[in-house]
Structures are given as C-alpha cells and as structure tokens.
C-alpha cells in the first residue's frame, strides 16, 4: 500500500520542480514509510511513498520504468491475480526484473494500453506517464478501494492519493467548494466525483482518466450488473458463494509481511476470520474494538468467534476522551467526513498496526446481501403504499406531531423517520432515509444568502442518477446498486482506507472482490431479503462456520455513543466551536438554529448527535484546511495554531 502524487505542465517547456515532488511525498509519508522516490522529466513529475508488502527488496522501488525508460508508473494497491498475469506475459516473452505487481501493470499497459485495467483483479490507483505519446494515464479500481484525487486548470494537472498532496503546490488555491459542502451536509461525506476543495475532483471508481495535449478525458470501464440472474438451487448457491469467497480470502492472504483481521463480531468479518483460519498455518491474529456503553459493545460476539477459531485475539476499549484524536481525524480525512465510526476504526487500525502490516475485513457484506434495516424498510414501504391514501395521511400527521426521540434509540426513532418520508415516491423516500440534513432542515439552518446560492443543487439528484444507472427494475437490487455506487466507496471504503493508512496499515476486503460481487449481484433479491430476514442466503451459507448467536443476532453497526457524549463530556466542546465567532462569521448557518440543535440535544428533547457531529467536523475542516495557510503542518501543530487563533 502506498501514496502517489504527480504533476504535469501542459506547456512542454516548463519543468516540474523536484522540491514540489519531495513535499508531496513528505505529506503522504504515513501511506508509505518504507521508501520514497521521485521521477521528473521536464513538464512531468511523479512521486511515490511505499509500504512494502510484496517483494520487500529495492527492486520494488517506485516510480518504476519499463526497460526502455519510455513508461513510468507510480502505483498504490494490490493486484491479486498478478502472478497469473505475470506467467501469461512471461510465456509471451516478457522479462521481469522484480517480483512486484507494479511491474506487471506496466507490462500490461505496454502490451494492451488503457485496456490493461480490464485484466486487473484487486485494489489500485495508479498513474502511468507514456513518454512515447506524451500522455498521462490514471486509473482507479472497480469499487473504489484506493483513492485518487486530481486538480487541473489551464496550465497544469496534479493528482495525489489525498488532497493534501495536491495542496503542496502553492499555485493551487485552498478554497471551499460550497455545492460539495451542501452535499456533505446531506450524506455525511462528499460524494464522488465532487470534492470539498474548489477545482478538485475525485476519479470515480471503475474509471480511468487520460491527459493529453491539455485535455482531460474521463471514462468508465466497468459497471456492476444485477441481471441476468443465476438459476441454481439454494444449496448450490450457498456452495458457490462460499467457494468464491474462499478464493477471495485466499488471494488476500498473499503477503511477505505479517497479516491479521479486523473482527467486529458481525457476520461478515467473522466469516472472513473463519475462512482465514482454514488456510492459515498458525492462529489468525484478530483485533476488536469495544465501548464502555454496553449497547454499543460487540466484544462478546467477537470473542465467540475468536475462541471458536483459537485466534490470537486483541481488544481495545474506546472512551469519551477518544475525541482527543479529532485534529488527527480532520487532518487525515482531508475532506469533511461525518461517519463517527471513523473514531473506533482509527483506534482499531492503530492497535492492529502494532502487530501486523496487513489486515482483512468484512466490508461490503451488507451492500452485497441486503444487510441494512433500510432495505427492509423499503420493502415495508411498498406495502404501506397500498394502504388507502386517507389512512396514510392521517397516520403521517399523527406521527409528525410526536416529539423527537431524545434519549430513545431503536424502534420509536426509526418509525418516526420511516413515516416522515412515507409520502414520497420510493427513490426519494430512500434518499431521505440516508440523509443527515434533509432539504427541509437546510431551509431552516442555512443563512439566506447561502440558501439562495444552493437552491439549484439537489443532493437527492445524485442518488436518483445512481438509481437510473443501476440497470434493473427490481427495486431492492437497484437500491443495493445505489449503495455500491455511493455509500460503499465514498463512506465505508474511505473510512477504512484513511484510518488504516494513517497508521501505515494495509486493509484488504475479500467481499469487495469484483468477481465475488458480480456473483452476489446475480443472486435473486428474494434470497437476500426473505420476509424480515436480512442477508438470508449469506446466513444460510455460513451456518456451519459461525455460532448461531453471531448469525442470528440483530445488527448493531459500528456505532459510537455520540448522543451521550454530546450531553456530557463533549457538550462544551460542541458549544464552543459551533457558536464561536469564527464559525458564525462564515455566513453558512443561522446562529439561532445551531443553538437550537445544541440546546434540544443537551436537554434530551431531541437527538441531534448526527447533525451536531456533521457541523462540528465541517467547522474543524474549515479551520484546518481553509483558514490556515501552512499546508504541511501535522495535526499536533494544528492544535497549537487553533489555540493561538492564528489565521
């Protein structure tokens, strides 16, 4: 796993400064502490930070060239079928100088050009400079495991694994992109291809980008399809599912450094650990996070799996003082990012890195097999739609008049949220279920000028476009496709990539294997959500692998007790930051509405912890990346500058 960056001037007479490439490398050092390198030739320069996983020798040094020196690559990721591809190329006469997957990508590009991405199975983000055609070629893996950000204007093009790499160029402005911030307030993350920085973009998953003669062209090369469906018996489907997942796990255990697994106690990570144990020569090292608040704590379920497979198990308890890492989180996530499970994920990665360099996880199980409550809610809503209109309207009026849930978690809050969106058509109803700040909330929260400026940007449209691209009339399949295209790459995979790379840890996700996901997509949706049973087929497939208590328990998610923390330990922090002069003078949010959120939550009249957390993270992002001009300082220095009030 690595960090990559680079710059290209469109004017061939200009030269990229080696000092800039060195700064880009330095700010990405956490992504690759083992080695660094730069390549520069007139108007082009590439930079690389290396975390050594395969072929630990200097033969894997990057940027890497072909034998003729006409192609140069900087690459981040792992290609799990690289040995098979290497053998094919060797049979055709290609001679390799290393044992790395990097050199295989370069050889594939030399032979197939941009079509090389079709041959790759794994997670990747890379850039290849083709000196023969004066072309810069960038590509990102199908599901978006590895990030790739870029910026261009009339003179230049820059890219990096993280925006802070691009910001090392003093010619690049550090300015907010307000439509993207508007979308962030809806989803809790900035959706691709948007960026929180004006002029920046994210290369979406399953896309490549070509820069030539000052022109930038972006193309999609793969899409997950939910049709046609496979026609097998339930037993045959279970057998095939396990066989494919076993292969995906086995491929991700190839490593020249120690590896282990995140073990949450949920069905997905537990299955990965079970399959790892089948092929591991010794006890699998497993790592779990818990909380003092028992309703958020899954450790006992993780221990069941650890004991069953006799893993080398490690645990860590997250406490309210965990928020001391807030400056680190803001610095590493680069953009506003409001998924509070980043906190335990960050600590989990930190603990795991003390023992191993690679960790497998269970990401994408819910998106593959319908594991979220909202999928069941969508099915119930379809039945609700068949009730007489008069009855529905009466019920919705009654529910709307009920007070917000204060300390209450669970059915009450979910029921109120369900019925609040019940009158909408199914796609917009789903959009409201997954939002943090709805359109109605924004109308009240935004200052008039900001509200007027954002009036033409509808965040729901982003999800509606994803529905249109799903390519299926089955609403559950289409909704799974929406989450695979949005929530999975822009929230979940970002969370794990940033948290793990902050500690120089490589995270691998067998359930994100694109061939496994293609098979999962071909399974009829009725076998994923059967009655009220979510992930039905997946649970049937792993019955013999896991304790029944792990399979059949209610889903908890990787929640954080922010609701309590904002009433106790973090209450003053939230008030001080969100009602500060600096925050209010941005002209985005009405002071009375921000105070209302804080007061109602503090007093237990409502539960606004998601909203408060989103605003808090946004303000801290403004302070770190927009207010302060020193772009290369680390998070510890940020705390000093925040306290001093320097701008």
User: Which among 71, 34, 14 is positioned nearest to 506, based on CA atoms?
Assistant: 34
The strand pair at 44-50 and 64-65 is best described as: unpaired
Q: Please give the pLDDT value at position 641.
A: 31
pLDDT digits (tens, 9 = 90+) for 73-103: 999 999 999 999 999 999 999 999 999 999 9
Q: Which letter does DSSP use for residue 627 in this model?
A: I
Q: Please give the pLDDT value at position 421.
A: 63
User: pLDDT: is 556 or 572 the higher one?
Assistant: 572
pLDDT at 167 over 50: yes
Q: Please give the pLDDT value at position 7.
A: 98
pLDDT digits (tens, 9 = 90+) for 213-242: 999 999 999 999 999 999 999 999 999 999
Q: In the chain, which residues fall in CATH 3.60.20.10? A: 2-220
Q: Please give the pLDDT value at position 391.
A: 64
pLDDT at 267 over 50: yes
Whether the Cβ atoms of residue 314 and residue 285 lie closer than 8 Å to each other: yes
**Whole-number percent of the chain with pLDDT over 90:** 80
| pLDDT, mean of residues 454-482 | 96
Q: Which letter does DSSP use for residue 410 in this model?
A: S
* Measured CA angle at 130 (ends 128, 134), to 5 deg: 125
User: Which among 146, 102, 129 is positioned nearest to 45, based on CA atoms?
Assistant: 129
Q: Which letter does DSSP use for residue 609 in this model?
A: H
User: pLDDT: is 436 or 404 the higher one?
Assistant: 436
Largest CA distance in the chain: 75
Cα separation, 102 vs 32, in Å, equals 15
pLDDT digits (tens, 9 = 90+) for 493-532: 999 999 999 999 999 999 999 999 999 999 999 999 999 9
CA distances from 346 to 181, 317, 332, 519 (A): 23, 12, 10, 31
Is the link from the previous residue into 63 a cis peptide, with omega within 30 of 0?
yes
Whether the Cβ atoms of residue 316 and residue 290 lie closer than 8 Å to each other: yes
Q: Please give the pLDDT value at position 395.
A: 63
Q: Please give the pLDDT value at position 247.
A: 98
Would you tell me how many other CB atoms lie within 10 Å of the CB of residue 83? 15
Whether the Cβ atoms of residue 250 and residue 279 lie closer than 8 Å to each other: yes
The CATH architecture that domain 2-220 belongs to is 4-Layer Sandwich (3.60)
**Which pLDDT band holds residue 407 (cuts at 50, 70, 90)?**
very low
Whether the Cβ atoms of residue 472 and residue 227 lie closer than 8 Å to each other: yes
How many residues comprise the chain? 647
The CATH fold of domain 234-370+488-552: Rossmann fold (3.40.50)
Q: Please give the pLDDT value at position 613.
A: 97
**Which pLDDT band holds residue 274 (cuts at 50, 70, 90)?**
very high
**Which pLDDT band holds residue 427 (cuts at 50, 70, 90)?**
very high
206-215, 279-288, 409-418, 448-457: the lowest-pLDDT one: 409-418
Q: Please give the pLDDT value at position 307.
A: 98
Burial 482-514 (b: 16+ CB within 10 A, else e): bbbbbbbbbbbbbbbbbbbbbbbbbbbbbbbbb
Catalytic residue among 2, 116, 238, 435: 2
| pLDDT, mean of residues 132-158 | 98
Is the link from the previous residue into 247 a cis peptide, with omega within 30 of 0?
no
String of DSSP letters for 59-81: GG-SSEE-TTSSEEEEEEEEETT
Residues 6+ apart with CB under 8 A from 194: 177, 179, 180, 183, 201, 202
User: Which among 427, 445, 426 is positioned nearest to 436, based on CA atoms?
Assistant: 445
User: pLDDT: is 388 or 489 the higher one?
Assistant: 489
Tell me if residue 629 is catalytic. Answer: no
Burial 4-35 (b: 16+ CB within 10 A, else e): bbbbbbbeeeeebeeebbebbbebbebbbeeb
User: Which among 37, 541, 9 is positioned nearest to 275, based on CA atoms?
Assistant: 541
pLDDT digits (tens, 9 = 90+) for 559-613: 788 899 899 988 999 999 999 999 999 999 999 999 999 999 999 999 999 999 9
Helix, strand and coil percent figures for the chain, each rounded to 5 = 50, 15, 35
Average pLDDT across the chain, whole number: 91
Q: In the chain, which residues fall in CATH 3.40.50.620? A: 234-370+488-552
Cα separation, 25 vs 160, in Å, equals 10
């Amino acid at each position: 796993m690595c960090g990559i960056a680079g710059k290209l001037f469109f004017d061939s007479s200009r030269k990229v400064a080696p000092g800039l490439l060195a700064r880009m490398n330095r700010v990405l050092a956490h992504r690759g502490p083992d080695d660094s390198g730069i390549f520069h030739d007139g108007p082009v320069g590439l930079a690389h930070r290396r975390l050594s996983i395969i072929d630990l020798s200097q033969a894997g040094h990057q940027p890497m060239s072909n034998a003729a020196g006409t192609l140069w690559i900087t690459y981040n990721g792992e290609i799990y079928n690289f040995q098979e591809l290497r053998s094919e190329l060797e049979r055709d006469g290609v001679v390799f100088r290393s044992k790395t997957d990097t050199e295989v990508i370069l050889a594939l590009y030399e032979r197939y050009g941009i079509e090389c991405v079709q041959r790759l199975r794994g997670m990747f983000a890379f850039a290849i400079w083709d000196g023969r055609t004066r072309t810069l070629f960038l590509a990102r893996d199908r599901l978006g495991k590895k990030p790739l950000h870029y910026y261009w204007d009339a003179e230049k093009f820059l890219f990096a694994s993280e925006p802070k790499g691009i910001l090392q160029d003093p010619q690049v402005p550090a300015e907010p992109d307000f439509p993207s911030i508007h979308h962030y307030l809806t989803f809790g993350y900035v959706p691709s291809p948007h960026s929180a920085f004006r002029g920046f973009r994210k290369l979406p998953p399953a896309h490549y980008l070509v820069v030539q003669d000052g022109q930038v062209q972006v193309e999609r090369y793969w899409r997950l399809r939910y049709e046609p469906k496979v026609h097998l018996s339930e037993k045959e489907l279970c057998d095939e599912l396990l066989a494919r997942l076993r292969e995906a796990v086995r491929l991700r255990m190839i490593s020249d450094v120690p590896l282990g697994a995140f073990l949450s106690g949920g069905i997905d990570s537990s299955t990965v650990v079970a399959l790892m144990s089948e092929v591991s020569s010794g006890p699998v090292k497993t790592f779990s996070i818990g909380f003092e608040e028992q309703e958020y704590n899954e450790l006992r379920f993780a221990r069941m799996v650890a004991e069953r497979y006799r893993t080398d198990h490690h645990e860590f308890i997250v406490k309210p003082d965990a928020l001391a890492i807030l400056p680190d989180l803001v610095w590493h996530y680069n953009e506003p990012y409001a998924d509070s499970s980043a906190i335990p994920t960050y600590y989990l990665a930190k603990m795991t890195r003390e023992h191993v360099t690679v960790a497998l996880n269970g990401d994408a199980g819910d998106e593959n097999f319908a594991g979220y409550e909202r999928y069941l809610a969508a099915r119930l809503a379809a039945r609700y739609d068949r009730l007489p209109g008069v009855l529905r309207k009466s019920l919705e009026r009654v529910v709307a008049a009920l007070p917000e849930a204060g300390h209450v978690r669970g059915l009450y809050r979910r029921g109120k949220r369900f019925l609040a969106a019940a009158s909408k058509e199914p796609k917009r109803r789903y959009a409201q279920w997954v939002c943090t700040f709805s359109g109605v909330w924004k109308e009240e929260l935004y200052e008039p000028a900001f509200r007027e400026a954002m009036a033409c940007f509808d965040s729901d449209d982003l999800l509606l476009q994803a529905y249109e691209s799903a390519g299926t009339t089955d609403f559950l399949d289409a909704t799974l496709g929406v989450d695979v295209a949005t929530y999975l790459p822009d929230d979940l995979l970002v969370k794990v990539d940033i948290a793990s790379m902050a500690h120089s840890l490589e995270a691998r996700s067998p359930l994100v294997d694109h061939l496994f996901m293609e098979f999962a997509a071909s399974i009829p949706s009725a076998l994923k959500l059967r009655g009220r049973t979510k992930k039905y087929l997946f649970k049937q497939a792993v019955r013999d692998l896991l304790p029944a208590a792990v399979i059949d328990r209610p889903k908890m998610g990787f929640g954080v007790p922010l609701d309590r923390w904002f009433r106790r330990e973090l209450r003053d922090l939230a008030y001080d930051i969100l009602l500060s002069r600096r925050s209010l003078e941005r002209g985005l949010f009405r002071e009375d509405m921000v105070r209302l959120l804080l007061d109602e939550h503090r007093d237990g009249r409502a539960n606004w912890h998601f909203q408060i957390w989103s605003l808090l993270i946004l303000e801290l992002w403004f302070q770190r990346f927009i207010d302060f001009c020193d772009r290369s300082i680390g998070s510890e220095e940020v705390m000093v500058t925040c306290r001093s009030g320097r701008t």
